[in-house]
Amino acid sequence: MDSVGNVISTRVRVLTREGLHGRPASQIATMLSKRDATLTLVKTDDTQARADCSSVLDMLILAAGFDTELQIFAEGPDARVALDEVKDFFNNKFGEKES
């Protein structure tokens, strides 16, 4: 995990076939609503493509399909715990059973 000033960050990959779609995006936004932190997703191969994790629409427009690599930046009092939660969520394939 990197840390610049009070911004911390980590790198994740989209592991599900369907990509970061509506359900996982809304779960991420829901997780964050309980934390005092701002999280931003940035595509590592296109740093112009960013999404605020409190907005489902932002994350959908980011269009993070299968195997997309993303850098997550977190800021705020709960940054650490929120970042860990979201990172685990990515690594656990958004809790989805591959159907």
Partner 1 sequence: MELSVNLTNSFQGIAVSPGIGIGRVMKLAGPGNVAPERLSIGDSGIEAELERLRCAITATADQLLSLQNELRRKLNNLDADIFEAHLMLVRDRTFVGEIEKRIKEEKCNAEYALYEALEHFQKVFATIRDEYLRERSLDLRDVGARLMENLTDVRDVMKGLDDSRVIVAASLTPSETARLDTSRVLGFVLETGSVTSHTAILARSLNLPAVVGVPGISLANLTGADKLIIDGFSGRVIVNPDSRTEEAYRLKARAADEFQARMKADNALPPETVDGFTVPLALNLDSACCDFSQLKGAGISGIGLVRTEFMFLNPHHHPTEEEQFEIYKKLLIDAGDLSVVIRTMDIGGDKVAAGITTLNEENPFLGLRGIRLALRERKDLFKAQLRALLRAGVYGNLHIMLPMVSSVTELWETREIIDELCCELQEQGLEHVRELPLGAMIETPGAALIAGELSRICDFFSIGTNDLVQYTRAIDRGNEHVSYLYHPAHPSVLQLIKKTVEGAKEGGIPVAVCGQMAADPALAVLLVGLGVNELSMVESAVPLVRRAIRSVSMYETVQAAEAALKCARAADVEEIVAGLLKTRFPEVAEL
Residues marked as catalytic: 21
CA 83/CA 40 separation, integer angstroms: 10
Tokens encoding 88: 């685990």
The residue within the footprint of partner 1, chosen from 11, 31, 43, 58 (CB under 8 A), is 58
Is 61 an interacting residue with respect to partner 1 (CB under 8 A)? yes
Cβ contacts of residue 65 below 8 Å, gap of 6+?
14, 19, 20
Is 77 an interacting residue with respect to partner 1 (CB under 8 A)? no
Which residues sit at the interface with partner 1, rule CB under 8 A? 17-23, 25-27, 29-30, 52, 54-58, 60-61, 63-66, 99
